Amino acid sequence: MLSVIGRREANYKFACLEARKHCESLGIENPVCEISNYLFPDSRVLAGHLQALEFLQKNAQKYYFMRTKMLPVSGAFHTRLMQSAVEPLAEVLKSMDIQKPLLCVYSNVDGKKYMHPKHIQKLLVKQVVSPVLWEQTMHSVYERKQGTEFPYTYEVGPGKQLGAVLKKCNLKAWKQYNHVDALEDEEV
């Protein structure tokens, strides 16, 4: 998977198309290169065949990518390459008693609130092969009527990555953001 921060001119889908064509020229059948995560404006995670991602890194300037970073993961998550995991997950979810959430829980498939247990089951299965709509989900979570204050948001744990993404998605919501560091060996 390749994390990309691009300029406004960046066309991620076109870049992926050209990366797939490059893979075909190498003899790879049915190559995959897709957007797997919409992080924030002008930032995406692309996933697929390694040769496609390396091609994009090598040609980053052509596609208006300002920064690229290969992510240390072992799969092309949230792409067609994960199709073999769909049925096993569906079977496991069928055996579970999924309840309606007591709080608002949002799906990364469509960025909207889960409506009922069958909806949760269906979208969790779909999530395996669908891009994560993080940016769109953040817009749904923080949607407010004019004049309504934003809720306090807490990120608990090491690092402040989610806060950084929130700041890029919604600066007003970020102003109510707090980070709580969780240390393993903290003395009481």
- List the CATH number of the domain containing 8: 3.30.70.250
Same domain, residue pair 8 and 51: yes
Residue 30 amino acid letter: N
Per the domain annotation, does 76 fall within a domain?
no
The CA–CA distances, whole Å, from 131 to 62, 63, 177 equal: 24, 20, 26
Domain span at 130 = 81-141
Summarize the confidence of residues 69-76 as an average pLDDT: 95
Same domain, residue pair 9 and 65: yes
Summarize the confidence of residues 37-49 as an average pLDDT: 97
Tokens of 125: 């299965």
Q: What is the pLDDT of residue 89?
A: 97
Parallel/antiparallel/unpaired status of strands 153-156 and 177-180? parallel
Same domain, residue pair 93 and 109: yes
Q: Is the pTM of this model over 0.95?
A: no
Same domain, residue pair 158 and 117: no
Same domain, residue pair 135 and 175: no
Same domain, residue pair 6 and 66: yes
Alpha-carbon dihedral 93, 94, 96, 99, rounded to 10 degrees: 90
Per the domain annotation, does 136 fall within a domain?
yes
Q: What is the pLDDT of residue 101?
A: 92
* Domain count within the chain: 3
Per the domain annotation, does 75 fall within a domain?
no
How far apart are the C-alpha atoms of 23 and 5, rounded to whole Å? 23
Q: 51: how many CB neighbours lie within 10 A of its CB?
A: 17
Same domain, residue pair 123 and 151: no
Summarize the confidence of residues 79-96 as an average pLDDT: 97
In whole angstroms, what separates CA 128 from the centre of its chain? 11
Same domain, residue pair 59 and 9: yes
